Structure 1
Amino acid sequence: MKIGIVVYSETGHTYSVAEKLQEKLQANGHLVDIERVTTGGDVNPGSKNVTFQNQPDVQSYDALVFGSPVHAFNLAPAMAAYLEQIQSLQDKKIACFVTKGLPFNWTGGNKAISKMKKICQSKGGTVVGTDIIIWRDNVDEKIEELIRRFSVLF
């Protein structure tokens, strides 16, 4: 299966999760590309007008994984804008994950995942898995758990 991992990452944390997931999915026999969403400048929380330097085309993939950080208790505006501009995710299996620094439930992880799912489903995609990585004490264990769970979805 051809799988695209599409990430928006500023600090590199979200991208590092994507790299580890790519290794596992490739070991399982899949063709896996990581593609980065990049913006044409700073994107502040609440931004509506996002300009992109790179908007990965997802149509050639059988399945997709979208990854993004949480910004200001919500999905990063760059990832939200990127997902909104995708024309169709019809018949694609999709998994979504977010990374965040604060460990409390009310700090946006669930809200960000919910927004990702809603946008993907509105484009015809089938969301088969989600996860939230909190960048704290046992982050390596959390990443391994995400990789274990996501590697059997496709």
Structure 2
Amino acid sequence: MKTAIIVHSFTGNTLSVAEKLKDTLEKRGVNVYLEKIEPTGGENRNEVDPARISFQSRIDLTEFDNVVIAGPVRGFSMSPVLKAYFDQGSFKNRKVYLFVTHFFPFAFMGGKSAISQMKKFVEQREGIVLNSRIIDWKSPSRESEIRSLVDQFSKEIQ
């Protein structure tokens, strides 16, 4: 079984969670590929139009059984970088797991709407969303939220 973890991370917070998930999956014998995506020429945080964001290359998701998509919340929304990365792609018959990180202490402050947009985006491209999580970076229980995400996703992906 092969799993791709595709992560957009500006500050490194989202990437740190993705790396913990990757390490745990590998310890459980899962073949994991982690890709940190970055727009060509670097990220312009003011760019919100996915059509104006480009990449050198994209991986072929047909090679993977599971796909984990992770990114920060941007303006109460799915990251435009993630949207641009997957805009022309398909998740057909792929099992998909989603997580976002955001700075605010409560999920209703952007995390829920970003996850909802990501689910809709994946389902429109024929993917099957099996689980999703929100990591509230300012929450005092952040570390336990991360452990819970890693434990739950890694159990389901095996």
Task: Mark yes or no: TM-score above 0.5.
Answer: yes
Superimposed CA distance per residue, residues 6-39 of structure 1 (whole angstroms, 9 cap, x where no aligned partner): 0000111111101000111111111001011111
Distance 2:82 2:15 in 1: 13
Distance 1:45 1:75 in 2: 13
Q: 2:144 aligns with which of 136, 141, 144?
A: 141
2:108 maps to which residue?
106
Q: State whether residues 2 and 65 of structure 2, in contact with CA within 8 Å, keep that contact through their aligned partners in structure 1.
A: yes
Instruction: Give the % identical residues.
Output: 37
1:83 maps to which residue?
86
Work out the number of aligned pairs and report it. 153
1:128 maps to which residue?
130
1:62 aligns with 2:58: no
Q: State whether residues 75 and 116 of structure 1, in contact with CA within 8 Å, keep that contact through their aligned partners in structure 2.
A: yes
Between 130-139 and 48-57, report the one with greater CA deviation: 48-57
Of Structure 1 and Structure 2, the greater strand share is in 1
Q: State whether residues 107 and 136 of structure 2, in contact with CA within 8 Å, keep that contact through their aligned partners in structure 1.
A: no
Distance 1:54 1:144 in 2: 31
1:35 maps to which residue?
35
Between 71-80 and 47-56, report the one with greater CA deviation: 47-56
1:4 aligns with 2:4: yes
Q: Which segments of 5 or more consecutive residues in structure 1 lack a partner in the other structure?
A: none
Over 6 Å off, 4+ runs: none
Superimposed CA distance per residue, residues 95-118 of structure 1 (whole angstroms, 9 cap, x where no aligned partner): 000000012343211111111111
Q: Which segments of 5 or more consecutive residues in structure 2 lack a partner in the other structure?
A: none
1:54 Cα deviation from its structure 2 partner: 4.4
Query: CA RMSD for the aligned pairs?
Result: 1.5
Q: Which amino acid aligns with 1:24?
A: T
1:23 maps to which residue?
23
